[in-house]
Structure 1
Amino acid sequence: MTTSNFHGAVGTKAKPVTSQFQFGPWTLTAVKSHILESEGIARQRFEGELELPQVPEMIFADNVLRLQHVAGFGLEFNALDALKLVDAHNDPLKVAVAQAWKEARADCEHINEVVKPFDWTFTTEYKGTLIGKDGVQLKVEPTDERIDLEKLKVREKIHFYEDILLFDDELSDNGSSIMNVKIRVMPTSFFILLRQFMRVDNVVVRVLDTRLYHEAEKDFILREHSYKESKVQDIQGPPHIVTDPNQVAQLLPIKRETFEKLIFPSSSISQKEADAIR
């Protein structure tokens, strides 16, 4: 079952659009809203949660993808938690454009006040935020199991699909750093791809992917995270490929990856019980 709500605009600012889908005992919620304003209480509150001297140019602070089991546990994806994992104390990419980036933001009082470096590419190894109630949460364990990507290539009916942008920054015209999360729900499973695509022109390209897959009636979610990176000069392909996340991701070498199983709490009710509740 899918529901969608569009709340009318107040003044010139539209309120969030919320879509929901029920997948067995899971309620899947996607919220899309406007860009965080450049000033005001909401902006101050958001930046106050971070140590970063500068945040991405476009932040969708109210955008969220949330998966919540009827038993209360689940996970969600949001911009604030993603940016909390950006290195606020070191600049891992010490290249010429770093100084150019700071000069381009010379009118930013935070940049002028800060003497310590930070990761101005906003690279984050965010994999999602675990949520729950009364201490009941998913249990994260390493696993040898893998997501069957070939199975995902089989054409199935898509019952629910959303693509949600979390943040976007053009690195002062030196490249791009963008994070979004997509979900698609098939008849007996759902698949999520959280991706950050980061490119510094003529220097480096990174793709950080987190994939999650769950099959109905199983008591776990598989989660795989990969960090891929290459110098632009080492990428084999036409020049334009470095601007296409889907194409360039297939060419980048893997620097590190993790494979995890998100196990449901033993107290969670079965899908049949969830169906009975509804």
Structure 2
Amino acid sequence: MMLHGFKSSKQDFTFGSWKVTAAKNHIMKSKDIERLADELNMPSLPEMLYGDNVLRIQHTDHYGIEFNAVDALKKVNNMEDTVKVACAQEWQESRAESEHAQEVLRPFDWTFTTDYRGTLLGEELQIKVTNTEERIDIEKLKAREHIMFFEEVLLFEDELHDHGVSMISVKIRVMPSSFFLLQRFFLRVDGVLIRINDTRIYYEDGKDYMLREFSTRENTITELKNIPAAFYTDPNEIAQHLTLRVTKCEKLELPVMHREPSVSEVI
């Protein structure tokens, strides 16, 4: 929820050839949300949508990757209701009264589940994505290294009409020899299921690629009946108890600058 006296902020942190930008702004205005809902062909959007929030990692040669709410929402299924529960109809009807009274309600994924993995940046020079067997070295990340910069940016959050929560945020930490980013989509539909979609990005200084790992963990509440209910509201706690359903590992290969030959080499 909005804190009283909230001020927009934009932080830039430069390290080597890279710059991290973390922008935090006010919640999107309702008229802008309605316009965006039309553009995305969705009956409604999350209650708290931070449309101008962004976490961006950009090289001096302009290529890079960023995470923003609008692109995350573009990956939501706007054609079918993927989680059918008793509360979904009631939830949609209550939304219809307040926001889209004239519209005929049609199915869409009202949980706002997204498998967004970031938006690649660059025009002339672009990152190339390839599949890989290489994994992020979690043990290396556990080493106590000085953190030069840390920031977390919320992209959207919705309480699913008091039937749970759907939210996505992204955080980054920059160390002297590397940076690590985690974007987490967390969904809890009370009495039904818990789902976590994580995107991790790791870059080690001197390497010509980043590693990106995407994973989906999910269980029904019935399957989690032996887990303390207090964990259900804590993504960090419950993540350790969820079953890994999907994993995808990719190399984000950085473009190589082509050096122009000198005059003496041409002659």
TM-score, normalization by structure 2: 0.91
How far the C-alpha of 1:223 sits from its partner, in A, is: 0.2
1:265 match: 255
2:220 match: 231
SS at match of 2:231: helix
Asked if the contact 1:78/1:166 (under 8 Å) is kept, the reply is: yes
Q: 1:50 is matched with which residue: 31, 37, 40?
A: 40
Alignment of 1:103-182 (within 5 A): 103-110=93-100, 113-134=103-124, 136-182=125-171
Q: Which runs of 5+ in 2 are unaligned?
A: 260-267
Distance in 1, matches of 2:114 and 2:247, equals 14
Is 1:189 matched up with 2:142?
Answer: no
Distance in 2, matches of 1:13 and 1:244, equals 27
Distance in 2, matches of 1:165 and 1:28, equals 16
2:73 match: 83
1:37 match: 29
Letter in 2 for 1:53: P
Letter in 2 for 1:225: F
Letter in 1 for 2:198: D
1:19 match: 11
How far the C-alpha of 1:95 sits from its partner, in A, is: 1.2
Q: Percent identity?
A: 51
2:235 match: 245
| Distance verdict in 2 for CA 1:266–1:116, change over 3 Å | same
Asked if the contact 2:43/2:105 (under 8 Å) is kept, the reply is: no
Asked if the contact 1:196/1:207 (under 8 Å) is kept, the reply is: yes
Q: 2:61 is matched with which residue: 71, 78, 84?
A: 71
Q: Which runs of 5+ in 1 are unaligned?
A: 1-11, 270-278
Letter in 2 for 1:230: N
Is 1:99 matched up with 2:99?
Answer: no
SS at match of 1:105: helix
Asked if the contact 1:158/1:184 (under 8 Å) is kept, the reply is: yes
Distance in 1, matches of 2:83 and 2:34, equals 28
Letter in 1 for 2:148: H
How far the C-alpha of 1:14 sits from its partner, in A, is: 6.5
Is 1:217 matched up with 2:206?
Answer: yes
1:274 match: none
Asked if the contact 1:53/1:111 (under 8 Å) is kept, the reply is: no
Asked if the contact 2:92/2:105 (under 8 Å) is kept, the reply is: no
Report how many aligned residue pairs link the two structures: 255
Distance in 2, matches of 1:98 and 1:44, equals 21
Asked if the contact 2:63/2:122 (under 8 Å) is kept, the reply is: yes
TM-score, normalization by structure 1: 0.87
Distance in 1, matches of 2:258 and 2:110, equals 41
Comparing 99-108 with 176-185, which one deviates more in the overlay? 99-108
How far the C-alpha of 1:254 sits from its partner, in A, is: 1.1
SS at match of 1:172: helix
| Distance verdict in 2 for CA 1:206–1:25, change over 3 Å | same
Comparing 101-110 with 207-216, which one deviates more in the overlay? 101-110
Distance in 2, matches of 1:45 and 1:15, equals 25
How far the C-alpha of 1:111 sits from its partner, in A, is: 6.3
How far the C-alpha of 1:112 sits from its partner, in A, is: 5.1
